[in-house]
A = this chain, B = another copy of it.
């Protein structure tokens, strides 16, 4: 599936969701979805706002927050809180479940996947009689040779 195909499919999901819940299908909402899926990276609301403004969209922060809320509800995006007081988001349609490794030197975010997390999740749900709906595993640390290769550009020390 190409990125354009993914965007078309995601828009279909969004259309369905909006219809089902009696929300209007505004241009702004689809523009936000499209730009998020074109970004193809983690983003915060302010940077998305600046990004869309730079592409001459007429959009407000209020609409971004509003639309992001809707996109979260229909699972087209995911929200992350990586230990800072700033929420980060990322597209999640047709993107496999994954967790994050956050470099505390260069702020780069790496993704990984491990089936054992699902096992822990369902086991803990059973033991504690809890319906686990989602999980988030964050590994914080420092990239080793990645910073030598120039990936970790903003290394502190």
**Chain B: CB-nearest residue to A85:** B85
When the two chains form their complex, are residues B114 and A120 in contact, meaning their CB atoms are under 8 A apart? yes
Decide: A133 and B137 in contact? CB cutoff 8 A.
no
Asked if residues A137 and B135 are in contact (CB atoms below 8 Å), the reply is: yes
Residues 90-123 of A, flagged 1 when their CB comes within 8 A of B and 0 if not, give 0000000000010110000010101011011101
Copies in the complex: 2
- The chain A residues found within 8 Å of chain B, CB to CB, are 79, 81-85, 87, 101, 103-104, 110, 112, 114, 116-117, 119-121, 123-125, 127-146
Contacts A116-B119, A116-B120; is A132 near B139 (CB within 8 Å)?
yes
CA distance A101 to B139 in the complex (A): 17
Partner of A131, one of B131, B132, B135, B142: B142
Q: Which residues of B contact A136 (CB under 8 A)?
A: 83, 136-138, 140
Give the CA-CA distance A149 to B39 in the complex, in Å: 46
